[in-house]
Chain A
Amino acid sequence: MNSKALTRAAAVTVALIAVATIGCELSATFKQLISLIGGHHWIGKSVLSVVFFGLLYLVFSKLFDDRFVLRDTLLLIATVMVSGLAILAFYIWHA
């Protein structure tokens, strides 16, 4: 297992969840498209998060060496915080 690739795949997947969440609220067509997976937009996002996590790991494991450093984890934590705050700020604005 390539730790760097898995950590970076996690960071990108988290960011994509935030983008998909906000995108679904801004575009009814996009929300409908996501809803085609499992019949509900939340199920669609859940399935896509697993699929993207797996696919991104496969791609990143070809691109990055396995030299795992703490900076990768800090980048992931920063991504989680920014993505979470972006979702919160969006829904406060959107409500």
Chain B
Amino acid sequence: MVNPLILIHAICAELGLFAFLWVLVEMLNPTETRIARAQVAALTGFAFLFFAWLVGGFYYVEVYGLHIKPLINASDAKWVHSIIMEVKEHVFLFLPILATLVLALLYKYDTDLTDNRDASVSIVLLSGLIFLLGFSIAGMGAIISSGYRFALMAGLT
């Protein structure tokens, strides 16, 4: 059975990423109403990513490390842990920092974002980066799940 923690981690992370895509769309042509919606989206996205960080971290240390990692490492798909998981768990740490920055810029410049092109373009670029980086990480998560299934199908327990 799939551990519910991994589902909660994945769902929260993806909701967080879509919230930053929402920020990007709102900030393409900022008005006072769109900036207000972008602030709500960024705050929601930040909260979801932060929760995904906590849940994913707990799952990684308490479940993955003890039960999943040994099976993957004993299989022919050892690279799934030694490359994919190692990259995923460390690159993920960039996301909360980037999300904090986007949130801070949105609240600092607020309605000035209609005129401050450097700040509004920065928010668009950083939100796009969060979305792309996050979904690359989600793809890595899918590969890790496949690696675990591969190990189970090989008869490893």
Binding site for B on A (CB under 8 A): 1, 3, 6-7, 10, 13-14, 17-18, 21, 40, 42-43, 45-46, 49-50, 53, 68-70, 72-74, 76-77, 80, 83-84, 87-88, 91-92, 94-95
Contacts and interface: CB of A to CB of B under 8 A. Distances in A.
Grouping DSSP codes into helix (H, G, I), strand (E, B) and loop, the B interface class, with mixed when no group exceeds half, is: helix
A17 B93 contact: yes
A10 B101 contact: yes
Contacts of B97: 10, 13-14, 49, 53
A10 B130 CA distance: 13
Contacts, number: 89
Nearest to B119: A68
Contact of A42 (B89, B119, B126, B129): B89
Interface residues of B, number: 34
A79 to B, nearest CB: 9
Contacts of B109: 3
Given A77-B129, A95-B79, A43 B98 contact: no
Contacts of B98: 10, 80
Nearest to B121: A70
Interface stretch (B14-22, B53-61, B146-154): B53-61
B108 interface: yes
Contact of A84 (B60, B79, B91): B91
